């Protein structure tokens, strides 16, 4: 079976790697353009592009999908809305690997929201894409627990592996017509937005539990952050003890990641009460 794969971040690269190791022929990959990364804003290819080039898979533009005779297009965290006239080009349409139990958490940041909201479980959904965001019928779903110490990074890795396994298991039944597509209950749909740097700004009037979940939901980017002595201070790890937030790791703008003990040793005037 010949497929085209659309995706961008590390989450998506994990799923692509599983497809490459399977019996499917990856005709081409479509991903977001190289983007500036880090303090020096170095132009960097996406993890999906790096993996594709390593495996000598062509990286093409979205409109070039018309040049391929393909059976199926697979999308995982591509990051852009795909027009319906593109979705319908493959013989079996386009399916999406989405890290939530749809219709809950449609949109760009389902993993962050599941952690931030204190959910005890999430999961993966394989669905057929239509012209609306994460709106199409469901092919398969599988639940996954959220650990008390899960960050966006750790939960994303778990869900990518789960999604890859579920995808490979689901494709044969889908293309053969054996899987019955299930319409989502659109009345129960909830939506998430693209995370921006300013979303990581800590509101210290929130409870310790809410801030701790925020620290995990936004790790490693944009990180939960605050201002101390005119500089951005990232809170990278914290826990709640006796109803109080205990900071474990942090990073001052322009500095290294430090434990709270190391940080206090170098900044004798540091006091959590002065954070804002």
Model pLDDT for residues 24-75, shown as the tens digit of each residue? 999 999 999 888 887 778 889 999 999 999 999 999 999 999 999 999 999 9
The partner residues of 7 in beta bridges, in order of sequence, read 76
**138, 140, 145 from 173: Cα distances, Å:** 13, 10, 26
Instruction: Give the pLDDT mean for 162-175.
Output: 97
What pLDDT score does 116 carry?
Answer: 97
Residue 60, Cα to own-chain centre: how many angstroms? 22
pLDDT at 272 over 80: no
Query: Could you tell me the residue ranges of all domains in the chain?
Result: 2-192, 197-274
* Cα atoms in the 13 Å half-sphere on the side-chain side of 88: 5
What pLDDT score does 227 carry?
Answer: 92
What pLDDT score does 207 carry?
Answer: 95
Can you identify the CATH homologous superfamily of domain 2-192?
Answer: Formyl transferase, N-terminal domain (3.40.50.170)
Rounded Cα distance between 241 and 7, Å, is 40
pLDDT at 273 over 70: no
Instruction: Give the pLDDT mean for 177-205.
Output: 96
What pLDDT score does 61 carry?
Answer: 94
> How many beta carbons lie within 10 A of that of residue 207, not counting itself?
11
Rounded Cα distance between 99 and 111, Å, is 7
Using one digit for the tens of pLDDT, what is the confidence trace for 121-146? Answer: 999 999 999 999 999 999 999 999 99
What pLDDT score does 35 carry?
Answer: 86
Which two structure tokens, joined as six digits, stand for 64?
A: 């070039």
The 10 Å CB-count burial string (b at 16+, else e) for 8-26 is bbbbbbbbbbbbbeeebeb
Classify domain 197-274 at the CATH topology level: 3.10.25
What pLDDT score does 138 carry?
Answer: 98
What pLDDT score does 240 carry?
Answer: 96
CB 158 within 8 A of CB 9: no
CB 162 within 8 A of CB 98: no
What pLDDT score does 275 carry?
Answer: 74
| Rama region for 91: left / alpha / beta (φ>0; ψ in -120 to 50; rest) | alpha
What pLDDT score does 274 carry?
Answer: 65
What pLDDT score does 252 carry?
Answer: 95
């Amino acid at each position: 079976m010949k497929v085209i794969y659309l995706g961008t971040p590390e989450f998506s690269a994990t799923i692509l790697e599983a497809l490459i190791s399977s019996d499917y022929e990856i005709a081409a990959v479509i991903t977001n353009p190289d983007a500036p990364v880090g303090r020096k804003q170095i132009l960097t290819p996406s993890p999906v592009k790096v993996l594709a080039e390593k495996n000598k898979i062509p990286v093409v533009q979205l409109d070039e999908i018309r040049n391929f005779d393909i059976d199926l297009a697979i999308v995982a965290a591509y990051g852009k809305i795909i027009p319906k006239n593109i979705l319908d080009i493959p013989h079996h349409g386009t399916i999406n690997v989405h890290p939530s139990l749809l219709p809950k958490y449609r949109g760009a940041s389902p993993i962050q929201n599941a952690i931030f909201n204190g959910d005890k479980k999430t999961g993966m959904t394989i669905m057929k894409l239509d012209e609306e965001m994460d709106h199409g019928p469901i092919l398969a779903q599988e639940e996954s627990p959220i650990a008390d110490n899960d960050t966006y990074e750790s939960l994303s890795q778990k869900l990518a592996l789960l999604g890859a396994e579920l995808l490979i298991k689901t494709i044969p039944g889908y293309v053969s017509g054996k899987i019955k597509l299930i319409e989502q209950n659109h009345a129960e749909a909830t939506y998430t937005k693209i995370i921006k740097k300013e979303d990581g700004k800590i509101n210290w009037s929130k409870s310790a539990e809410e801030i701790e979940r925020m620290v995990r939901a936004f790790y490693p980017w944009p990180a939960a952050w605050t201002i101390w002595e005119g500089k951005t201070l990232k809170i990278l790890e914290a826990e709640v003890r006796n109803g109080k937030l205990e900071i474990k790791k942090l990073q001052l703008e322009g500095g290294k990641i430090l434990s709270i003990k190391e940080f206090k040793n170098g900044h004798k005037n540091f006091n959590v009460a002065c954070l804002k």
